[in-house]
Structure 1
Amino acid sequence: MRIVLFFFTMWLVAATVNAQNSNSCGLMVMAHGGSDQWNTAVESAVMPLRDEFPVAIAFGMANPVTMKAAVTELEEQHVDCIAVVRLFVSSHSFLHQTEYLLGLREDPPAFFISHGSHAHHGSKPVPLELSSSVIISETALLDAPEMGEVLAANALALSDSSGAESVIIIAHGAGDDKVNAEWIQKLDLLADSVRTTGIFNEVAVHSLREDWEEKRAKSEKEIRQFVETHSQNNGRTIVLPFRLYGLGPYEEVLDGLAYKSNGRGLLPSPAVTEWIRRTANELFVELEEIASAE
């Protein structure tokens, strides 16, 4: 009798789990992608979430191939709704293309980012086929207060508490002046977390505007000037990259200058995992509300 009861209990548990899975939401994390170390850092940040709900990662700049693979991976786990968290610095990054590919808007982007870093005119991309409902995050890392905590922690890890240090936080930036100003404004708010530590002489934020040659040249000059000026007279400059992983092109920009950096971006940090979790759960609630209203 006990054996029968045991197997009945196990069947009931399995049936309950399957029922939950058949009406569950999954998470797609979109990230730019890079070196093996870059990708591993993202996978490590996402790993704790796999115990909470189905998760798939789509590397690339709204790459339809990796996005489709992520959708398939989730739907094979019997999800019926997908929350898409875009692990990008800016909320503008590849948004139009992402919305189009996921069937959330009918008009394709004027320029379609394919497998490289270039935007192309050309044949109209085909939206992905999905059997799940989808919702996309409208915020990104620049909007996340948790990233201020990461910046402060990274600065303190490099500081000698001498009172002779200044900090410069460098981000990618944008070509459009208005959009770039938004980058700076948001980055400056996050920099307040570094300022409130009270141990740094000055905390500045700059954007390199990496992909726009003339604007980049001006930005490089300003960044180098800050580091040079604040490294004089026994001063020291701490460089914090506001990038998901690594120092990126900033090492070349700062070549020949004296500064302190461990080359660490926003990852690794549990705060990034927490932001992904918080954003995903907010999207899950929205999906549930949408389903209830139908």
Structure 2
Amino acid sequence: MNTQEYMSRFKRFYWITLTALLVAASIRPGFADEALSRRDRQTGFLVVAEDRGFIGNEEIIDEFQLFAKTRNASLIFVTDERTGKYLRNSLDRLLKKGAERIVVIPLFISAAAPRYELVHQLLEREKLDVPVSYTRPYGESYFAVEDLADKFRTIPQPADTNLIVVGYGAVDSDSERKMQADWKRIAEKAAAGFGFASINILIGHDKKKKDDDAVARTEKLTRELADAVNGDGDGGRKTVVIPFHLGPKLDSMMSFDARLQQLLPPGTKFLADGGSEVRADANSATINLATWLQREANQSQPLAREDVGVVILSHGSDFNWNETMREAVQPLMKQYKIEFVFSMADQPTIERALRKLEQRGAKAAVIVRVFAMESSFRKPVERMIGLDIEGVAQDTADVHAGYGHSHGHGAAPSVPAPRIRTSLPIQTVGGLGASPLFAAALLERARTLSKNPARDTVILIAHGSGSDHQNELWTQALEDMAEQMRKSGGKEFHAIRVATWREDWPDKRAPWVDKIRAMVEDAKTEGGKAIVIPARTTGQGPEDKFLSGLEYDLGSGFAPHPMFVQWVDEQVRVGLARFADIRRTGMTTVEAKSHSPYPEKWLWW
């Protein structure tokens, strides 16, 4: 079949199917509305998606129905001006069910998609009496990045591979340019760490009502594919074409992907949906759709206390150490849903806790990193929950990176690990070092032990690091804490000194053990006693072993202590404030779009 015959057949089939679909273009959830509480009804969720044709739409409907079980929700497929009728019907149903505001969730990869622009125009015409706001499009979430990265993970030898990622939906050169920029952003984020030889982005054009230019557009895409393949050169590399879109999929044969495969230059590999070079039934762009919808809906809602899940992430040790940490936060167990993770940011262990919070009915989660340093494990946690994509990840060193037993030690993975896809919006907070509560609690420990503060010397000792640079960060953090203690009345002591054990690195540890032993002996020589305070989250370190034979009094770390409970609660509240900021800045209303429907505040990276 030549290209013209194929396009003619495609056009006839497309319009026959489109006519049938318009009858059911507005999808209502097939579940008993009576099960919804008043709170559930108050927000009407309008999911808007580009019409894909029968099978493509059915895939979306299947996922939408899972989302709609517990929501006042409706789904419409956007075609052209005729969509206005189905939009009105969907809005009426949401309002009749009790919606006091409408949240639009756009299932579009690019905010520049012409049919997304049409959604804004149609909604503006409605002039509803309730507020209307938009969440970010699917393409601006880390789910889009991960869904594309899943395809990348199936490609062997990335360094020897030239990628061509093909999107869909442009109608002219302007929309093509804008959409290409969005696809490029997603592809570059998804490809980070893989080391592909090159990445090219191409955008297929949407079919218009009058399809006179179909042949010209097909020829243009054919030339672009050939140019991309030839432009990469050979050099022993292979070229892989990866479709990533929510474009036409009328059935298993009539689809944009089927059309695309016919246009490929000889020798080019095509990575079909399902993660192989053989066509699969599942569309990897929609298999995580229900989870994404739940997450966007949760993120759009104010949080009640019972909605909040908290993950206490701490180093952990034996049963007794772990139980001490559990007991330390008991006063908060009635306020929040709390799960514990005793590890150094082990992703499967954190994911386990998040899944338990999902099962317990949480609608958002705050991961509290209970480590002495604010930067400890922050980067890996931010990455696994997608904040490196959607958040403003700070660029500072992880002071635990030098641990011989730390997260990620050993052989590096061949490709980046998948992020955790969850229905819970997540924020991560933590780091004891900068908290006045930490300093105040340790000062109280010292006061309890000291019988003669004017003569006694307080020695704050932390774990330390194998890296000289990172150990210096530890030392500076301890100095900052010591200064906080002095300002809070700690000047009553003869002196407050600081050190680290560097306990896991024998070659670096020995000089510090000698230094700390000298501090203890100096305290006695100066007429007082050494008050050794472990600057730890809980418990003690190797003091008894390394200070054997010396005279000193030994305290313990932060938890359990009322101020530790206060610190955890404050951290959770910081996380909740971030959620509120996201709702305020990450969404926009119809009324706020007087000049552009796509304000820059929508962009999360």
**Is the pair's TM-score, using the shorter chain for normalization, greater than 0.5?**
yes
| TM alignment of 1:1-294, pairs within 5 A | 24-105=307-388, 117=406, 119-123=409-413, 124-137=416-429, 139-161=430-452, 163-195=454-486, 196-232=489-525, 234-262=527-555, 264-292=556-584, 293-294=586-587
Contact 1:184 1:205 in 2 (8 A): yes
Please report the TM-score for the alignment, with normalisation by the length of structure 2: 0.42
Deviation at 1:271, TM superposition (A): 0.9
Distance 2:38 2:336 in 1: 15
Contact 2:306 2:336 in 1 (8 A): no
CA deviation vs aligned residue, 1:82-125 (integer Å, no higher than 9, x gap): 1111001112222232223223337xxxx999xx6571224343
Partners of 1:21 and 1:287 lie apart in 2 by 12
One-letter identity of the residue aligned with 1:62? A
**How far, CA to CA, are the matches of 2:360 and 2:535 in structure 1?**
35
**1:80 Cα deviation after fit:** 2.3
Contact 2:365 2:425 in 1 (8 A): yes
SS in 1 for 2:368: strand
Secondary structure of 1:120's aligned partner: coil
Which AA in structure 2 matches 1:80? K
Using the alignment, how far apart are the partners of 2:39 and 2:531 within structure 1?
Answer: 50
Residue 7 of structure 1 is matched in structure 2 by: none
Offset from partner CA, 1:16-54 (integer Å, 9 cap, x none): 798976993321111111122211121122222222222
* SS across alignment from 1:141: coil
Instruction: Check 1:212–1:287 CA distance in 2 against 1; reply closer, same or farther (3 A cut).
Output: same
* Unmatched runs of 5 consecutive residues or more in structure 1: 1-13
Secondary structure at the counterpart of residue 205 of structure 1: strand
Q: CA deviation at 1:165?
A: 1.2
Residue type at the aligned position of 1:156: R
Q: Cα 1:21–1:235, aligned 2, differ >3 Å: closer, same or farther?
A: closer
Describe the shift of the 1:23–1:291 C-alpha distance in structure 2 as closer, same or farther (beyond 3 A).
farther
Asked whether the equivalents of residues 21 and 79 of structure 1 are also in contact (C-alpha less than 8 Å), the reply is no
Q: Deviations over 1:222-274 (max 9, x none)?
A: 11111112123642111111112222222211111111114x21122111111
Distance 1:36 1:18, change over 3 A: farther
Q: Percent identity?
A: 28
Structure 2: distance between partners of 1:101 and 1:57: 17
1:276 CA displacement: 0.9
Distance verdict in 2 for CA 1:284–1:163, change over 3 Å: same
Q: Are residues 68 and 232 of structure 1, via their aligned partners in 2, closer, same or farther at CA, if it must alter by over 3 Å?
A: same
- Flag the 1:23–1:51 CA change in 2: closer, same or farther, 3 A: closer
TM-score by length of 1: 0.83
Q: Deviations over 1:104-155 (max 9, x none)?
A: 337xxxx999xx6571224343322311111111x40111110111111000
The amino acid across from 1:203 in the alignment is I
- 2:312 alignment partner, SS class: strand
Query: Match for residue 104 of structure 2?
Result: none
CA spacing shift, 1:218–1:291, aligned 2, 3 Å: same
Name the SS for the 1:257 alignment partner. Answer: coil
Corresponding residue for residue 10 of structure 1: none
CA distance in 1, matches of 2:574, 2:305: 20
Amino acid at match of 2:426: V
Q: Distance in 1 between matches of 2:566 and 2:40?
A: 27
Verify the 8 A CA contact 1:152 1:193 in the aligned structure 2: no
Query: What CA RMSD, in Å, does the superposition of the two structures yield over aligned residues?
Result: 3.0
Higher mean alpha-carbon deviation, 208-217 vs 236-245, is at: 208-217
Distance 1:16 1:43, change over 3 A: farther
Find the aligned partners of 2:319 and 2:553 in 1 and give their Cα distance: 25
Query: Of the two, which has the highest radius of gyration?
Result: 2
Preserved contact between residue 452 and residue 528 of structure 2 (Cα < 8 Å): no
| In 2, Cα distance between equivalents of 1:162 and 1:279 | 32
Query: Distance between the aligned counterparts of 1:52 and 1:81, measured in 2?
Result: 14
- Evaluate the alpha carbon distance shift between residue 103 and residue 233 of structure 1 in structure 2; reply closer, same or farther with a 3 A threshold: closer
Going from structure 1 to structure 2, the CA distance change for 1:105 and 1:163 (only over 3 Å counts) comes to closer
Partner Cα distance (2:306, 2:452) in 1: 53
Letter in 2 for 1:256: G
